[in-house]
Structure 1
Amino acid sequence: MFWFALFIGAILFLIAAIHLIWAFRIWWPGGDEESLARSVAGFRNIRKMPSALQCGAVSFAMVGAAAAVIYLGAGSPFGGSVWLQTLCALIAAVFLTRGVLGFTQFWAGLTPEFPFRTLDRKYYSPLCILLGVGIVMILILG
């Protein structure tokens, strides 16, 4: 289960790195701030990316999530601890909730901008669901 946890952790580290790039106000891969905001945030009439602090906070949270998942999957002495299992269960719940939310009319109403709407249903929400299910699998099988 360690290699699977490492794989999930690597995806989370990649997401963290992308958010860190945005925290430094580098608009990759959008080219400019507005097109990136419309692609990755998608909120109604969005023209600017979330603040550097917000992007940095997401990056920090993703690094923490990656570390927790890898630590859980490593089978370390703390791998079976209740606090780490609870933390990973909460992380999984966040990803599963975000993933399912992406397919609701409520979320579509909050995030109507294109291309976000298409990208969310095609990539972002399914990725969140897969990450959540992957973490649950580590919790159960690891």
Structure 2
Amino acid sequence: MIAPFISPILVAVLFVLGCLHLLWAFGSNFPCANEQALARAVVGRRGITKMPSAFSCVMVALCLFAAAVLAAWLGGYFSLPLPSVIQKGVLVLAGLAAGTVFLGRGIIGVLPAFERSSPESPFLTLNRRVYSPLSFLIGLGFILLVLSLPNWSWRLGIA
């Protein structure tokens, strides 16, 4: 039974990340001193001085909140009134998609080509130490949640 352990952790992490993006959308510079320092820490593009638009930050926040809801759904904390075959199919596809996106971000984020495209000093260090490993772990969490769905876990012995 790994879903009851992994799901709440994913929900909490994704919810906090979504809230951070909402704060940035509404003009907060948390946790940095000013907008330029924040942009250099979280975006990292060469010569960046301003954060992306509020719309972009809100869209990322909504995607993170949707991923948090998906993690809760995969963990069995709620279900939708759908036939079980359809519900499981949607869960598997959405969970694998989310896992692939986050795993991809975690892996691509440490490739030299990615690092050359975002060379600003705080971002590069934060990306290596926090952003990419966290993305990879979130993706791994989604994959494990999909594999722990009923009638799947017996194949891998991770029930």
The reply to whether TM is greater than 0.5 is: yes
Could you state the TM-score of these two structures normalised by the residue count of structure 2? 0.85
- Alpha-carbon displacement from aligned partner over 1:20-39 (angstroms, at most 9, x marks no partner): 00000101011100000000
Aligned to 1:118: 125
Moved over 4 A (4+): 75-80
Correspondence 1:61-72 to 2 at 5 A? 61-72=63-74
- Alpha-carbon displacement from aligned partner over 1:25-69 (angstroms, at most 9, x marks no partner): 101011100000000110111110011000000000000000011
- Number of positions where the alignment pairs a residue of Structure 1 with one of Structure 2: 142
> Residue type matched to 1:141 in 2?
S
> In the alignment, is the contact (CA less than 8 A) between 2:72 and 2:78 conserved in 1?
no
Could you state the TM-score of these two structures normalised by the residue count of structure 1? 0.94
> In the alignment, is the contact (CA less than 8 A) between 2:25 and 2:54 conserved in 1?
yes
> Residue type matched to 1:98 in 2?
R
CA, structure 1 residues 17+77, in 2 after alignment: closer, same or farther (shift >3 Å)? Answer: closer
Aligned to 1:31: 33
Shift in Å at residue 84 of structure 1?
2.1
Shift in Å at residue 72 of structure 1?
1.1
Extract unaligned runs of 5+ from structure 2.
150-159
> In the alignment, is the contact (CA less than 8 A) between 2:100 and 2:139 conserved in 1?
yes
Mean alpha-carbon deviation: is it higher for 79-88 or for 21-30?
A: 79-88
CA RMSD of aligned residues (A): 1.4
User: Does residue 1:3 correspond to 2:5, yes or no?
Assistant: yes
Extract unaligned runs of 5+ from structure 1.
none
Distance of 1:19 and 1:108 partners within structure 2: 22
Distance of 1:122 and 1:61 partners within structure 2: 23
Instruction: Name the SS of the counterpart of 2:121 in structure 1.
Output: coil
Mean alpha-carbon deviation: is it higher for 73-82 or for 19-28?
A: 73-82
**Higher gyration radius (CA):** 2
Distance of 1:77 and 1:33 partners within structure 2: 41
Mean alpha-carbon deviation: is it higher for 75-84 or for 127-136?
A: 75-84
Correspondence 1:1-142 to 2 at 5 A? 1-74=3-76, 76-78=78-80, 81-142=88-149
Identity, % of aligned positions: 35
